[in-house]
Amino acid sequence: MTIPIADLPLVRSRHPEAVAEAAARRARRPLLGAMGRLLIVAADHPARGALAVGGRPLAMADRYELLERLLTALAQPGVDGVLATADVLEDLLLLGALENRVVMGSMNRGGLAGAAFELDDRFTGMRAQDIERRGFDAGKLLLRIDRSDPGSVATMEAAARAVDAMAERKLPVFVEPFLCRRRPGERPVSDLGAAAVMTSMAIASGLGGTSAYTWLKVPVTDDAQTDPEAMERVLSASTLPAVLLGGDVRGDPDAMYERWRAALRLPGVRGLVVGRSLLYPPDGDVAKAVRTAASLL
């Protein structure tokens, strides 16, 4: 039985077991469908304190609005599933929105946006055993590396152990790697040049005792704007299956969509994971943005 969004606090307070009950009866599907492609809507930003979209610093702070946008996105043809932290996924479970969807649990959210310890990204989200217990389908972790920040090695070690824990359970884990740089008093900036992305992919591919269940989540590089072969070189850095990270669409959305379309044609790319660009598009039309993304696949 599903419930209205407005009733979530009441159900959570009076019947917390409803989450486990909804998870137990959820209809599941394979990770890859008949087309062998994935379109995943990401909504794990709030748990890292990353609430801004464009010029709105608290755009994602309203949980009810976020859930409404997620329900709209998940209702569109071609959408395979959602990536989020436990709180959001459990809301969606109670709302009946995860039936026959790929459900990906976000694992490390300790690197809070803007914090001095942002690159010491500890695993404060879902653990492998949590993803298994809830019957979810995959996990996702973020690996940002700054060679000058000692916190990066702690994140690397924790990421490797998470890869091991997921593999023990035969659960896919999507690793999102970046090389970063940080000037004193400033936030980390990810290097989206082809060489940096290839390096980060090489590092991520070697995490843990096995890569059998590891996927990579990689950005479309800055080089791709002027070099049509840039992403082909980037994807040659690993034989692991990869999905494209959508990121924020700045400037001309149509130009960004075309870069996604070109990268999606490459052999190693199995799909697209996009969050704020689809949930909070400039024109406010979530359904249209999602349908556009689905058409790229």
At 19-71, the pLDDT tens digits run: 999 999 999 999 998 888 999 999 999 999 999 998 889 999 999 999 999 99
pLDDT digits (tens, 9 = 90+) for 83-92: 999 999 999 9
Q: Sorting pLDDT into bands at 50, 70 and 90, what band is 248?
A: low
> How far, in Å, CA of 53 to CA of 248, rounded?
8
For 9, 23, 123, 129, the CA distances from 6, given in Å and listed in that order, are 7, 20, 30, 30
More confident residue, 229 or 132: 132
Give pLDDT, residue 247: 67
Mean pLDDT, rounded, for 260-271: 91
What pLDDT is stored for residue 71 in this prediction? 98
Under CATH, which number does the domain 5-296 receive? 3.20.20.70
- Indicate the domain borders of the chain: 5-296
Contact at 8 Å (CB) between 259 and 54? no
> Measuring CA to CA, which residue among 152, 246, 166, 244 is closest to residue 203?
152
Distance CA 218, CA 243 (A): 6
Pairwise CA distance, residues 110 & 76, whole Å: 32
Query: Model's pTM, two decimal places?
Result: 0.95
The predicted-structure confidence for 105-133, as pLDDT tens digits, reads as follows: 999 999 999 998 999 999 999 999 999 99
Residue 177 has pLDDT above 90, yes or no: yes
pLDDT score at 231: 92
Task: Work out the mean pLDDT of the chain and round it to a whole number.
Answer: 93
